[in-house]
Structure 1
Amino acid sequence: MSSPSATNAPRAFWAGRVLAFAGIALVAFSMRSAVAGLSPLIPAINETFELNTFAISLLGAIAPLSFAAGGIFTPRIEKKIGLERTLIVGLILMISGHLIRALSVNWQTLALGTLVALMGMGFANVAMPPVVRKYFPDRVSTLTSVYMSIMAVSAFLPALIAVPVSEVVSWRGSLAQWSIFALVALIPWIIEYRRHGREKITGVTDEAHVARQAHPWRSPTAWAIGAVLAVSSITGYAMYAWMPVILIDIAGVTPAQSGALLALFTGMGLPLAFLTPGIAKRMGRHAHWLVTISSVFFVAGYLGLLFVPTHATWVWVAVVGIGCLEFPLSMLLINVRTESQRSAMAVSGFAQIVAYLSAAIAPGVMGALFNLSGTWTVVLTTLMIISVVVNVPAALILRRNRSVDQELARH
């Protein structure tokens, strides 16, 4: 199996790539602001126009559905207009969505703006792994660590500053501020498109052309990558939706403490984003063990919450958060288990369809399980079982150390 690091000799980090690095960093910083920057403002928005339970539920469901749609449409769009222009379109959607939300006059326009912004972020989700491969083929793990770390910051910073900014410039200004960062991110990608956007994609071998001819669903490795990403996404969206309520019920924490514990869960993403790709690179062909290790953390965390929830609650929450190391791992696997930029784009789209469609239904299923059983034990046990039943086969497939291109070439 080839990998970017194996087939490309390292060169000076900044050699001709300063703008690309800036563009990757700025896009990464813009990729979660529409998700994290809205919910803290709901009380303030509700003073301007009513947000009923249905509206709030719909706003929460838009994110994973938009990201899944990004997996469907982004590879097709990229084939027609190229990688740089795909990112440019995504950024324009982000800017437009942020502004529509800031100018919204009812929950319908707020939902429309959220949908537009998140569609743009869905495009960026899928495009980022192949962008890293194209501009930094010799430093895939390093750049994956960088942009995943910045994404982790973009997941908690908007929630942290949304209310303080709204108190100064109103909730509309707080929502609109994120359009500025997306606008700035446009600049390097417009320049890069003028420089390189019309160039023929390099590094596409005859074997890698099978990504155009056979869909990734025929590849066990592509399914394994999607499954790894799905477990992390299901856990994340289920916890975002239900963790505060669960902890109040089973651990007896206050609402303020439950919010802090959710922040702890989310904050674990930063060190994981920074460390996981490098660790996976050092493990090489044995990186599949990280999938098994993540299951160990999930099981330990859920067992702690099930049996001793009132003791060391923060430890169990942090341990479950560590299990989500699969998110940055899956982003790296998209590149190291493919053989070209084209293959990476196809697998990125496929994996995110699998993951985010699963994540979209997770909060509703968890709520239904609680309503049927009347206890959070069933919910936590289900999440624990998913983390094992899905991860173990994925790890066994990844253990074969095959690329998606090798598997598709057999069809």
Structure 2
Amino acid sequence: MRYPRLMALTAIALTATNLRTAITALAPLVPEIQDDLGVGASLFGVLGMIPTAMFAIAAFALPGLKSRFTTSQLLMMAMLITAVGQVLRVLGGPTSLVGGSVLALFAIGITNALLPLAVREYFPNRVGAMSTTYLTTSQVAQSLAPVVAVPLSVWATQMGLTGWRWSLGSWALLGLVAALTWLPLLTTPAPRTGVATPVPAMRIPVWKTPVGIGLGLMFGFTSFATYSLMTFLPQMVTDPALGAALLGWWSLLGIPLNIIGPWVASRMRNPYPVLVISSMVFLIGNAGLCFAPMAAPWLWTTLSGLGPLAFTMALTLINVRARTTAGATALSSFGQGLAYTIACTGPLLTGIIVDITGGFSMVFILFLVATACVLGGGFFATRQVHVEDQARD
């Protein structure tokens, strides 16, 4: 089984590089796109809410799709659709930009939900190590995309092309390559785990439990803030090149969070104090970016990048706060559905505020509210309880 596992490792790693590049490659190109298409910040608020909206829709669509296709088939199709969507969004005007983004990000949403299943199917005895591998791969690609976006655009412009279109569209190649790596696995069965099929997730009324609602709020409002930053961070400073570098650094800081967050959530009896400290660090960094970004841009970005520990904690708490696979599945479905529904409003509200006020100072109110909701939800999500027990009460 070494050869199929090697193929699976390659396919999973290359697929993971597509999870966030479609988002972070866009932000540094916003000024150039605005000049070319004549659009304002509100459009980019819409574009910023598309990822989380599509992730929420994909979560609801996945069970039906999974009943018709295998994991490898779905991942190959998702990567092909991702590539097509990324090409479509650079071929026309604002409508094409939005439409192509919707298509690509819906496919990425399916991919986002499927990769953990692929890890479990092909590496049933190495779930932790393989999860860290693909999350780290995704984080590295996410951090590199904004750094190379502007240089790619400059190079394309020097070649007589429309810079932002070629820079943004070039990421379709990653999706195409990832799709091809799944081809050999279409006829290669995953290792049998011997685990019985879990009880359907929705039999557990997670929406009635404090831990389910708390987890959704904790996850959702962290994503609310981080996706707003992913969309607008380069515009918060006056130098576009600096903005792209800051977004790359901010994304890179997520790598240690992928290690620290799961450890805190799974090993500490009471992880709530750590959540409070990290949330305050996040808020201080975001305050600096909103009120005095050029005073210490690297300091503010570092504090902001090290702050959203709640994201990886929430992903881990999905398993920690459940006794059974069915409980974890139900908690994941409800928690992520609620979370991404909340998160999709962050970039939209940020864009509207920037258009109305002409700056980012008032955006701090959004970060303040989000932090309060993260701490409120986290209080219930980090308690030593299990969703199955609360669902029976």
Q: TM-score higher than 0.5 here?
A: yes
Q: 2:177 aligns with which of 180, 184, 198?
A: 184
CA deviation map 1:155-208 (0-9, x unaligned): 2322222333342474454344323322232244344342336x8885347xx5
Partners of 1:129 and 1:334 within 8 A in 2: no
Partners of 1:237 and 1:362 within 8 A in 2: yes
Q: 1:365 aligns with which of 343, 349, 368?
A: 349
**TM-superposed deviation, 1:362:** 1.8
Q: Report the residue type matching 1:65 in the other structure.
A: A
Q: Does 1:108 align with 2:100?
A: no
Q: Report the residue type matching 2:101 in the other structure.
A: T
Q: 2:118 aligns with which of 117, 128, 131?
A: 131
Partners of 1:97 and 1:117 within 8 A in 2: yes
**TM-superposed deviation, 1:254:** 5.4
Distance between the aligned counterparts of 1:370 and 1:99, measured in 2?
A: 29
Aligned pairs (5 A) from 1:11-22: 17-22=5-10
Q: 1:330 to 1:147 in 2, by over 3 A?
A: farther
Partners of 2:215 and 2:380 within 8 A in 1: no
Q: Which moved more, 1:104-113 or 1:359-368?
A: 359-368
Q: Which moved more, 1:137-146 or 1:113-122?
A: 137-146
Aligned length, in residue pairs: 386
**TM-superposed deviation, 1:350:** 2.9
**TM-superposed deviation, 1:24:** 2.0
Q: Report the residue type matching 1:328 in the other structure.
A: T
**TM-superposed deviation, 1:118:** 0.7
Q: 1:122 aligns with which of 92, 103, 109?
A: 109
Partners of 1:129 and 1:335 within 8 A in 2: no
**TM-superposed deviation, 1:28:** 0.9
Partners of 2:201 and 2:326 within 8 A in 1: yes
Q: Which moved more, 1:38-47 or 1:153-162?
A: 38-47
Q: Which moved more, 1:49-58 or 1:22-31?
A: 49-58
Q: 1:367 to 1:307 in 2, by over 3 A?
A: closer
Number of the residue aligned with 1:298: 282
Distance between the aligned counterparts of 2:349 and 2:99, measured in 1?
A: 25
| Partner SS for 1:196 | coil
Number of the residue aligned with 2:49: 61
**TM-superposed deviation, 1:366:** 4.1
CA deviation map 1:359-382 (0-9, x unaligned): 221234345667889986654254
| Partner SS for 2:384 | coil
Partners of 2:4 and 2:188 within 8 A in 1: no
Q: Does 1:157 align with 2:144?
A: yes
| Partner SS for 1:30 | coil
Distance between the aligned counterparts of 2:347 and 2:13, measured in 1?
A: 30
Distance between the aligned counterparts of 2:138 and 2:303, measured in 1?
A: 20
Q: 2:298 aligns with which of 301, 314, 318?
A: 314
Q: 1:196 to 1:340 in 2, by over 3 A?
A: farther
Partners of 1:51 and 1:107 within 8 A in 2: no
Partners of 1:19 and 1:192 within 8 A in 2: yes
Distance between the aligned counterparts of 1:214 and 1:341, measured in 2?
A: 11
Q: Report the residue type matching 2:335 in the other structure.
A: A
Number of the residue aligned with 2:384: 400
Q: 1:268 to 1:304 in 2, by over 3 A?
A: same
Calculate the aligned-residue CA RMSD, in Å. Answer: 3.8
Partners of 2:147 and 2:248 within 8 A in 1: no
Q: 1:95 to 1:363 in 2, by over 3 A?
A: closer
Distance between the aligned counterparts of 1:131 and 1:339, measured in 2?
A: 22
Partners of 1:204 and 1:340 within 8 A in 2: no
Q: Report the residue type matching 2:380 in the other structure.
A: L
Partners of 2:278 and 2:308 within 8 A in 1: yes
Distance between the aligned counterparts of 2:31 and 2:353, measured in 1?
A: 28
| Partner SS for 1:400 | coil
**TM-superposed deviation, 1:313:** 4.8
Partners of 2:291 and 2:360 within 8 A in 1: no
**TM-superposed deviation, 1:397:** 3.2
Q: 1:46 to 1:372 in 2, by over 3 A?
A: closer
Partners of 1:31 and 1:124 within 8 A in 2: yes
Length-normalised TM-score, structure 1: 0.77
Number of the residue aligned with 1:8: none
Q: 1:304 to 1:269 in 2, by over 3 A?
A: same
Distance between the aligned counterparts of 2:92 and 2:246, measured in 1?
A: 34
Distance between the aligned counterparts of 2:194 and 2:244, measured in 1?
A: 47
Q: Structure 1: state its 5+ residue gaps.
A: 1-11
Distance between the aligned counterparts of 1:308 and 1:366, measured in 2?
A: 17
Q: Does 1:203 align with 2:195?
A: yes
Number of the residue aligned with 2:257: 272
CA deviation map 1:266-298 (0-9, x unaligned): 3322332344335545x2554555433422323
Partners of 2:286 and 2:304 within 8 A in 1: yes
Q: Structure 2: state its 5+ residue gaps.
A: none
Q: 1:34 aligns with which of 3, 7, 22?
A: 22
Partners of 2:200 and 2:326 within 8 A in 1: no
Distance between the aligned counterparts of 2:244 and 2:177, measured in 1?
A: 32
Partners of 1:87 and 1:189 within 8 A in 2: yes
**TM-superposed deviation, 1:79:** 3.6
Q: 1:306 to 1:180 in 2, by over 3 A?
A: closer
Q: Report the residue type matching 1:32 in the other structure.
A: R
**TM-superposed deviation, 1:121:** 0.6
Q: 2:220 aligns with which of 224, 230, 233?
A: 230
Distance between the aligned counterparts of 2:299 and 2:20, measured in 1?
A: 26
Aligned pairs (5 A) from 1:47-86: 50-53=37-40, 55-86=43-74
